[in-house]
Amino acid sequence: MEKPIHRSVAEADAEADPFARAFAEARRAAASGEVPVGAVVVRDGRILAAAHNRPRALHDPTAHAEILAIRAACAALGSERLPGCDLYVTLEPCPMCAGAIGFARIRRLYFGASDPKGGGVEHGPRVFNQPTCHHAPEVYGGFREREAAELLRTFFAERRD
């Protein structure tokens, strides 16, 4: 007989709601002095990978939440592509991350706050609208946008004081 699995309410909520997990990851980033962005890769309703921004910790300018989550999901599946997978991220991906999303063949992208200064999906180069983009996911923005924007505002305000 299997032992019951005991999880906290927060863990159960995060598993049921990928954005709950993405925001938990973003808060982890903020707590470690990284820009608070979290990302989660989901397939068939199951979280395959979750990550937060870590460029400072890893001394790697490409260590954005989306890139790290995509890398972990690819490793978990043993593939360089993630067809049938969805990505949930707290902030509109930058151009670099949008490129990685396309190369990974992510099916759907869900994001929280828009990023007029650094975004690459709805702003800036609009990567998925370019003729050189060979795969564009379905894109849905504005999820928990106020919460995402407030997390970023608070993080940067604390650094200006």
Active-site positions read 66
Residue 133 annotated as binding site: no
Residue 97 annotated as binding site: yes
Cα dihedral sign, 151-155-157-161: positive
Contacts of 111 (CB under 8 A, 6+ apart): 88, 89, 90, 91, 92, 93, 121, 139, 140, 141, 142, 143
Instruction: Give the helix/strand (H/E) hosting 133.
Output: none
87 torsion bin: left (phi>0), alpha (psi -120 to 50), beta (else):
beta
18-31 and 65-77 are packed helices; what angle lies between their axes, rounded to 10 degrees?
120
**What spatial distance separates the first Cα and last Cα of the chain, rounded to whole Å?**
56
Binding-site residue numbers are 64, 94, 97
Binding-site residue numbers for Zn(2+) are 64, 94, 97
